[in-house]
Structure 1
């Protein structure tokens, strides 16, 4: 299991955002550290002026109407599921996914043009019931990182679907060794993005951004959150973090469980 550290750049703030797709198959986190069940954060920093940081780069238009995606095995799945078909995946249009939670509905609009392989995976997992009755195990209300993380049926932050796949937008807008990949950009409020254990280790975990957040452009953006969903997230965020691990990063005070996920 890998735990990834995202840096809310320039803040001296390193936060662990777990994702799927670790080397041992029990999945992951967001940026690549060692296997540990603990989470940590430094004390909260003052409010950050995000205007000094760049926005996400503009996405390129799809080069073809379809792409072929690969989903290599990555250890045991947290919940029994089959990898998606990766042949002839569409790059056109959007698809809706509706999350029903005990705290309220969260609607997502996923963009095939920006992240066809990621959207293909989420749709496949949704149709197989993978996200049903699963917790959103982590919330951050720290300056520069406001998000709720979901998608691990184990609820431990290290669970995934038993496969992994490559990063897409915005990572693919940069050359592989571009130093800009180490610099933060603003992931705006309303973004849905994939958590990971390092570049190209995406699995089933995703995070829902409810405050403009600073992250390196190494987290695949898959879509946007509905206004109704943002209202639900604001309610969850207002209740805060349970405080057992850190004052601004940990399990939500109010338990958040995805009762059902449906392709709209």
Structure 2
């Protein structure tokens, strides 16, 4: 048989063509994310002015506005949030918690990659910073981490695009200290149930 046509997606970075929260992110409007997990709720302020494309990616994958490729089927997914049901697959006490991989392995992505955004010169100067995980320069996808430390050695290596404004002690630290295996994967899944985006602080 003939090979199936390649399914391709890319990050929406055109503010004129974008809709909804992706458009607001690309235009630099302040946005917030309410992340419900099975360990409690984390509220994050997103830095649209500093990292518009990175925030557009996160809010698009949270709401379903951003298309992605299902790692299970290879099909293009539209209108369905990538992050719903995805786990924090890597937690390291006194460092950070990492999630957002649709495969739950640390090797997955949304079917595209996009560039770093470092123009703000923000650094990892306090805990509770939201940043993109990557595999080197300009390899951002859907994986992110929230710090429980101040890893300033990561400055200029991982795009910072938000910070925790609620739920740090009660939820982020709790997730950071769950029992885990030698690969730093929690013994019991820590699940992102849903992420709600808003343009006013919840």
The interval holding the TM-score normalised by the smaller chain is 0.7 to 0.9
**Alignment match, 1:156:** 105
Summarize deviations over 1:201-246 as a string: whole Å, max 9, x none: 1110000112222333210000111232442011122334x2334x
Q: How many residues get paired?
A: 166
Matched, 1:137 2:89: yes
Aligned Cα RMSD in Å? Answer: 2.3
After superposition, where does 1:4-23 map in structure 2 within 5 Å? none
Name the SS of the counterpart of 2:14 in structure 1. coil
Equivalent residue in structure 2 for 1:199, among 124, 137, 141: 137
**TM-score, normalised with respect to structure 1:** 0.57
Distance 2:144 2:178 in 1: 21
Q: CA–CA distance in 1 between the matches of 2:125 and 2:113?
A: 23
Answer whether contact 1:187 1:215 (CA < 8 A) is retained. no
Judge conservation of contact 2:93–2:148 (CA < 8 Å) in 1: no
Where do 5+ consecutive residues of structure 2 fail to align? 1-5, 16-22, 65-80
Q: Mark the runs of 5 or more structure 1 residues left unpaired by the alignment.
A: 1-74, 174-184
Partners of 2:50 and 2:150 in 1: CA distance? 20
Determine whether 1:237 maps to 2:176.
yes
Alpha-carbon distance between aligned partners in 2 of 1:132 and 1:160, rounded to the nearest angstrom: 14
In the TM superposition, residue 127 of structure 1 has moved relative to its aligned partner by 1.0
Partner of 1:86: 13
Aligned CA distance change for structure 1 residues 76 and 235 (closer, same or farther; 3 Å): farther
Secondary structure at the residue paired with 1:208? strand
Q: 1:254 and 1:233 mapped to 2: Cα distance? A: 16
Contact 2:89-2:185 within 8 A present in 1 as well: yes
**Are the counterparts in 2 of residues 102 and 256 from structure 1 also a CA contact under 8 Å?**
yes
Residue 158 of structure 1 aligns to a residue in which SS?
coil
Shift of 1:83: 3.8
Alignment-derived partner of residue 98 in structure 1: 34
SS at match of 1:99: strand
- Name the CA distance, whole Å, in 1 between partners of 2:163 and 2:30: 10
Distance in 1 (alpha carbons) for counterparts of 2:165 and 2:186 = 21
Q: What is the CA distance between 1:254 and its match in structure 2?
A: 4.4
1:108: how far off? 1.3
